[in-house]
A and B are shown apart, each in its own frame.
Chain A
Amino acid sequence: MIEIDNVSKWYGDFQVLNDCSTGVGKGEVVVVCGPSGSGKSTLIKCVNGLEPFQEGKITVDGVSVGDKSTNLPRLRSQIGMLFQNFELFPHMTALENICLAQTKVLDRSPDEAEERGMKLLERVDLVEHAHKHPAQLSGGQQQRVAIARALAMDPIAMLFDEPTSALDPEMINEVLDVMVELAHEGMTMIVVTHEMGFARKVANRVVFMDEGSIIEDADKEEFFGTPRSDRAQLFLSKILEH
């Protein structure tokens, strides 16, 4: 469903992505991990065109992202994205956040959008918080609203950019639980995360990045069993030690 072929990206002279290639099949869950600054977030932001790239090709469901003629808003509306800092819109209630793109992008009626929004809030267990603003919600609740907001667009795939990195430890699980559920339902997902427990539980494949390159791209068992590269082994030994 998502094909990333030989993608390279530079910020001025600095190369942030170096000839990255990988793919995600329908219903597959791919976890991207690696040290900070290795280009993980940049790579998934290239997938929905939030970051431009200079070389290579990315296609989502057959549509080339980098192509000038591509209708990016339309493509993006089909790909849900979650952010480290949730990025709910602060001046709108949880429900209004979920309804905005439904009405403005998908042209759903306000009633229809609201009904769908309430259903999704029920799913992430936040119905009683529908009319609260983001600042009145905890981090975990905000991220679950953000998931509901993404799901409201009926996405064909979802991108997660370190969705639990800004959360207090006790809130990480409430978000991960929703993500695990999504994975089990067959959602196509690319997840940038350091949560190796999550990777072990639901990932089909793990991609390990360092300094802009994909160093390892392996099945989960293979990756956690015997990662081939020294760099990946070192990384794993560090984050799995505790």
Chain B
Amino acid sequence: MAMKYNWDWSILLCRSPEADPTGAVEPGTPGSGATEFGGGMGQTFDTGAECAQPYFDWIVSGLSWTVIVACAAWVITFSLGSVIGVSRTVENKTVRAIATAYVEMFRNVPLLLQMFIWFFVVPELLPEDAGRWLKRELPLPEYWTAIVCLGMYHASRTAEQVRAGIESIPRGQTHAGLAMGLTRTQVYRHVLLPVSYRIIIPPLTSDFMGIFKNSSVALTIGVMELTAQSRQIAEYTFNIFEVFTAATVLYMMVTLIVVTIMRFVEAKVRIPGTIALGGD
């Protein structure tokens, strides 16, 4: 049974009847919708003329927040994940145990729950001043929370990849480094990490893409990223097909860009004489 649906892409160019819901513009500011109603003498009473922005702008705003949140989270993921991953391979048992505990904790709890814990529970657990600062004074608290939460969640996965990369390098390499007088830290810095990062570029790529996709979970704490904006437009217009199709295509474009960049990086750092994807 085929469903009959009239696709209407022009909806994305229509103006919304209400103010910009990105949260970026504070209510009451000149130029933000309703307050201007009747003020602009030159305006006609065309469709939704009372609003400054077409829905398309909502999508662009959502997309940029998705990119900002995901990229910022990735910085945390990469640095923290590397530290934890390396910690899982060192000789010191305490350090190893802490790193393992981190990985198990953040990997085994659903991301959605972690998002809620960071947003609703953590500020209450902190000392009163810090909690109040988080809740009241920090601008855009939900965005910061989402970045930290996503970053720390994905760090547990990156840590596993870093660990696997290091462990895949034969012990002889470490022995060779130590035998020439390098310290263990130097062996990590000059031998193990440069090689293992190259090895784990493919899984790192899918994890980086995962951050972009998982950033949509942040809508549950009020981050107006791409999925949240799409849902909002859908609620305003009921043109669910156009809106979610647009979001789907945009997510795919973003992840494709990520893949392309990572392929380029992979080819760039490829070790001569070995084979890697994207190489010549």
Q: Are B190's CB and A104's CB within 8 A? A: yes
Q: Are B274's CB and A76's CB within 8 A? A: no
Bound CA–CA A91/B198 (angstroms): 9
Bound CA–CA A50/B184 (angstroms): 12
Whether a CB of chain A sits under 8 angstroms from the CB of B127 is no
Q: Are B181's CB and A87's CB within 8 A? A: no
Whether a CB of chain A sits under 8 angstroms from the CB of B90 is no
* Contact among B175, B183, B195 for A90, CB-based, below 8 A: B195
Q: Are B180's CB and A134's CB within 8 A? A: no
Q: Are A136's CB and B272's CB within 8 A? A: yes
Q: How large is the interface on B (under 10, 10 to 19, 20 to 34, 35 or more residues)?
A: 20 to 34
Bound CA–CA A132/B186 (angstroms): 23
Q: Are B181's CB and A77's CB within 8 A? A: yes
Q: Is the contact region of chain B dominated by helix, strand, or loop, or is it mixed?
A: helix
Whether a CB of chain A sits under 8 angstroms from the CB of B250 is no
Bound CA–CA A40/B190 (angstroms): 29
The 5 closest A-B pairs by CB, nearest first: A77-B181, A135-B273, A87-B176, A101-B180, A136-B273
> Which A residues form the contact surface with B (CB < 8 A)?
45, 48, 50, 72-74, 76-81, 83-85, 87-91, 100-101, 104-106, 132-136, 149-150, 153, 159
Sample of 29 A–B contacts (CB below 8 Å): A50-B175, A72-B178, A73-B178, A73-B181, A73-B183, A76-B178, A78-B181, A80-B179, A81-B175, A81-B176, A87-B170, A89-B177, A89-B195, A90-B195, A90-B271, A91-B194, A91-B195, A91-B271, A101-B180, A101-B181, A104-B186, A132-B273, A133-B272, A133-B273, A135-B273, A135-B274, A136-B272, A149-B180, A150-B180
> Which B residues form the contact surface with A (CB < 8 A)?
170, 172-173, 175-183, 186, 190-191, 194-195, 198, 271-274
